[in-house]
Amino acid sequence: MTQDELKRMVGQAAADYVNAHAPEGAVIGVGTGSTANCFIEALAPHRARYRGAVSSSVATTARLEQHGIPVFDLNEIESLPVYVDGADEIDASGAMIKGGGGALTREKIVASVSEVFVCIADASKRVDVLGSFPLPIEVVPMARTAIGRRVMALGGVPVLRVRQDGAPYITDNGNEILDVKGLQIAAPRELEATINAWPGVVTVGLFAARGADLCLLGSGTGVESILYGAPR
């Protein structure tokens, strides 16, 4: 199977999971990226079952609206039974690197208020140790160089994310992203806490303190459901 077919398969599996577990009339948290897009497509035929969604990015909002799914501001919503999103890497504890699509801050916010985080991924995203995928850090632009120095002191190589035209990539929140290469992240919770404490860091793309509760992992043999302990 191609990677796109695997993404469609886990997107469908996530829609089946949500239809079976989320109450009618619920608002669903929706992530960002090509795998999350497959989830939106699979959920769309069931949209009448839900009040709508909270979105993790401008791009996801547009896609949800294209599919006729109402989008709510998180401030209007008290609880989200489930959040569905992709990942760039996921380890055996359910800790993830996210932010390849630049939406890490809103993703982390929406995930933080969701009861269950369902990660959907193809098998290439499963790793023993996080860090082969460059770790994104969303930074306030004036702090970019100071944060880069701290990253280098940890042994990482910070690279400013740029658009195709060479200009800095700007997030939905008006900030920049440093992609950090060369880290072997053996203690993701500790590194997440360390980097988040640096002045000027908006969000680090380590999702360990609030990792996935369930991963629906697609491979040539089907969708494997991996549970990481009691949902929070």
Residue ranges in contact with ligand 5RP by CB under 6 A: 31-35, 85-88, 98-104, 107
Strand pairing of 52-55 and 71-72? parallel
Q: How many residues does the chain have?
A: 232
Tokens of 135: 């770790």
Q: Counting Cβ atoms within 10 Å, is residue 9 exposed (0-12), middle (13-18) or buried (19+)? A: buried
Question: Using an 8 Å Cβ cutoff, are 152 and 96 in contact?
Answer: no
- Residue 42 one-letter amino acid: A
Closer residue to ligand 5RP, CB minimum distance, 145 or 173? 173
Closer residue to ligand 5RP, CB minimum distance, 2 or 142? 2
Which residue in the list 89, 107, 176, 192 is annotated as catalytic? 107
Closer residue to ligand 5RP, CB minimum distance, 85 or 91? 85
N- to C-terminal Cα separation, the chain: 34
Question: Using an 8 Å Cβ cutoff, are 11 and 39 in contact?
Answer: yes
Round to whole Å and give the CA distance between 32 and 89. Answer: 14
162: which strand partners? 168
| 107 carries an active-site annotation | yes
Closest by CA position to 137, among listed 152, 120, 122, 127:
152
Q: Smallest gap, in angstroms, from Cβ of residue 33 to ligand 5RP?
A: 3
| DSSP H/E element including 194 | helix 188-196
Closer residue to ligand 5RP, CB minimum distance, 34 or 219? 34
| DSSP H/E element including 55 | strand 52-55
Closer residue to ligand 5RP, CB minimum distance, 103 or 151? 103
Q: Which are the catalytic amino acids?
A: 107
